[in-house]
Amino acid sequence: MLEADYVIVGSGSAGCALAYRLSEDGKNSVIVIEYGGTDMGPFIQMPSALSFPMNMSLYDWGFSSEPEPHLGGRVLATPRGKVIGGSSSINGMVYVRGHARDFDHWAEAGAAGWSFADVLPYYKRMEHSHGGEEGWRGTDGPLHVRRGTRKNPLYQIFVEAGREAGFEVTGDYNGAKQEGFGPMEQTIHLGRRWSAANAYLRPALKRKNVSLVSGLARKVVMESHRATGVEIEARGKIQVVKAKREVILAASSINSPKLLMLSGIGPADQLKRHGIEVVADRPGVGQNLQDHLELYIQQESIQPITLYSVLNPFSKARIGLQWLLFKSGLGATNHFEAAAFVRSKAGVEYPDIQYHFLPAAIRYDGKAAAKSHGFQAHVGPMRSKSRGAVTLRSADPREKPEIRFNYMSHPDDWSDFRHCIRLTREIFGQAAFEPFRGRELSPGDDVQSDADLDDFIRAHVESAYHPCGTCRMGRADDPASVVDPECRVIGVEGLRVADSSIFPRITNGNLNGPSIMTGEKAADHILGKTPLPPSNQEPWINPHWQASDR
pLDDT, one tens digit per residue, over 358-368 is 999 987 666 66
397 is a domain residue: no
CB-based contacts of 531: which residues, under 8 Å, 6+ apart? 113, 118, 521, 524, 525
Last residue of a domain, one of 419, 440, 460: 460
Cis amide linkage into residue 531, ω under 30° from 0: no
**109 and 153 belong to one structural domain:** no
- pLDDT score of 118: 98
Provide the pLDDT confidence category of residue 92 given band limits of 50, 70 and 90. Answer: very high
- Residues in the annotated binding site for FAD: 5-34, 83, 91-94
Q: Which domain holds residue 242?
A: 1-132+187-287+468-540
- pLDDT score of 181: 98
DSSP for residue 250: -
390 is a domain residue: no
**107 and 63 belong to one structural domain:** yes
Average pLDDT over residues 207-216: 98
Q: How far is CA 287 from CA 230, 249, 294, 324, in A?
A: 23, 17, 22, 44
Q: Count how many residues are written for the chain.
A: 550
Spatial separation of the C-alpha atoms in residues 185 and 333, rounded to whole Å = 11
**What is the domain-level CATH number for residue 524?**
3.50.50.60
Among 92, 96, 104, smallest CA distance to 511 is for 96
**92 and 30 belong to one structural domain:** yes
Is the dihedral angle over the CA atoms 399, 197, 379, 434 positive or is it negative?
Answer: negative
**158 and 50 belong to one structural domain:** no
**210 and 231 belong to one structural domain:** yes
DSSP for residue 187: -
- pLDDT score of 56: 94
**338 and 415 belong to one structural domain:** yes
CB half-sphere exposure, 377, CA atoms < 13 A:
28
CB-based contacts of 447: which residues, under 8 Å, 6+ apart? 453, 455, 456
Q: Count CB-CB contacts under 10 A for residue 422.
A: 12
pLDDT above 70 covers what percent of the chain?
99
CB-based contacts of 64: which residues, under 8 Å, 6+ apart? 75, 76, 77, 78, 403
End-to-end CA distance of the chain: 61
489 is a domain residue: yes
**192 and 339 belong to one structural domain:** no
Tally DSSP H helices, then E strands, for the chain: 13, 25
**497 and 371 belong to one structural domain:** no
Asked if pLDDT for residue 370 goes beyond 90, the answer is no
pLDDT above 90 covers what percent of the chain?
97
Spatial separation of the C-alpha atoms in residues 533 and 490, rounded to whole Å = 26
Query: Cβ distance 68 to 78 under 8 Å?
Result: no
User: How would you class 72 by CB atoms within 10 Å of its CB: exposed for 0-12, middle for 13-18, buried for 19 or more?
Assistant: exposed
399 is a domain residue: no
Last residue of a domain, one of 419, 442, 460: 460
Q: Maximum CA pair distance of the chain?
A: 70
Bridging pattern class, strands 30-34 and 3-9: parallel
**315 and 276 belong to one structural domain:** no
- pLDDT score of 364: 62
Give percent helix, percent strand, percent coil of the chain, each to the nearest 5.
30, 25, 45
Average pLDDT over residues 29-34: 98
Provide the pLDDT confidence category of residue 485 given band limits of 50, 70 and 90. Answer: very high
Q: What is the pLDDT of residues 228-246, one digit of tens each?
A: 999 999 999 999 999 999 9
140 is a domain residue: no
Q: At what angle do helices 450-460 and 411-428 cross, to 10 degrees?
A: 100
Spatial separation of the C-alpha atoms in residues 159 and 432, rounded to whole Å = 9
Q: What is the pLDDT of residues 251-298, one digit of tens each?
A: 999 999 999 999 999 999 999 999 999 999 999 999 999 999 999 999
Last residue of a domain, one of 397, 429, 460: 460
* 186 φ/ψ sector (left φ>0, alpha ψ -120 to 50, else beta): beta
Q: Name the E strands within 53-155.
A: 63-64, 77-78, 127-129, 143-147
Average pLDDT over residues 517-538: 98
**270 and 168 belong to one structural domain:** no
Q: Count CB-CB contacts under 10 A for residue 344.
A: 18
The enclosing H or E element of 217 equals strand 216-223
Query: Cβ distance 71 to 461 under 8 Å?
Result: yes
CB half-sphere exposure, 37, CA atoms < 13 A:
7
**What is the domain-level CATH number for residue 346?**
3.30.410.40
Number of domains in the chain: 2
Spatial separation of the C-alpha atoms in residues 12 and 5, rounded to whole Å = 20
- pLDDT score of 367: 67
- pLDDT score of 363: 74
- Residues in the annotated binding site: 5-34, 83, 91-94
Query: Cβ distance 217 to 2 under 8 Å?
Result: no
Spatial separation of the C-alpha atoms in residues 53 and 45, rounded to whole Å = 10
DSSP for residue 197: I
- pLDDT score of 365: 66
Spatial separation of the C-alpha atoms in residues 381 and 18, rounded to whole Å = 31
Average pLDDT over residues 13-34: 98
- pLDDT score of 369: 75
403 is a domain residue: no
Average pLDDT over residues 189-213: 98
**312 and 282 belong to one structural domain:** no
Provide the pLDDT confidence category of residue 371 given band limits of 50, 70 and 90. Answer: confident
| Residue 373 annotated in active site | no
- pLDDT score of 366: 63
Query: Cβ distance 141 to 126 under 8 Å?
Result: yes
Q: How far is CA 386 from CA 176, 383, 405, 502, in A?
A: 29, 9, 8, 17
**268 and 219 belong to one structural domain:** yes
The single residue of 99, 466, 525, 544 carrying the catalytic annotation is: 466
Spatial separation of the C-alpha atoms in residues 470 and 244, rounded to whole Å = 27
